[in-house]
Amino acid sequence: MESISIRSSKREEMIDITSKVSELIPKDGEGICVAFSLHTTCGITVNENADPDVQSDMLGFFKKLIPQYESDFKHSEENSDAHIKTSIVGSSATVPFSDGKLLLGRWQGIYLCEFDGPRERKVVVCLART
């Protein structure tokens, strides 16, 4: 098990962490890789990494769906929206690997979804060989 650090620069952004996770994949053998966020206001997902408009569209839709300031939110830190968005996205992604490579599809990447930045984030990467 290893951990990686990611520094976000905006309140909401999707950061491609595929290369950081890939560095931890063993050169031989196969198994599964789990990337898990240690935070309640940022998630992990697998999505398209070819067109940055996909990340922009996702973040824009989340902002519309769950605005930061909602009169019904009771949480005093003004980041209830980030907690909700993270619960929807999820806190981890599982990807198989083989012979030193993540078995992602042609257009897929692993993303940290920041919803309450900018912050320093930690992601635990756990590898299980089969």
Output the pLDDT for position 73. 86
Output the pLDDT for position 78. 86
Q: Find how far residue 80's CA is from the centre of its chain.
A: 18
Ordered structural domains, the chain, with CATH: 2-129 (2.60.120.460)
Per-residue pLDDT band for 33 (boundaries 50, 70, 90) equals very high
Radius of gyration of the chain (CA): 15
**Mind listing the pLDDT tens digit for each residue in 65-110?**
999 877 788 887 889 999 999 999 999 999 999 999 999 999 999 9
Give residue 114's identity as a one-letter amino acid code.
Answer: E
Helix locations, 8-120, DSSP H: 18-22, 53-65, 80-89
Output the pLDDT for position 20. 98
**What are residue 94's DSSP bridge partners?**
34
Q: For the full predicted model, state whether its pTM sits above 0.85.
A: yes
- Mean pLDDT calculated for residue range 18-40: 97
- Mean pLDDT calculated for residue range 41-46: 98
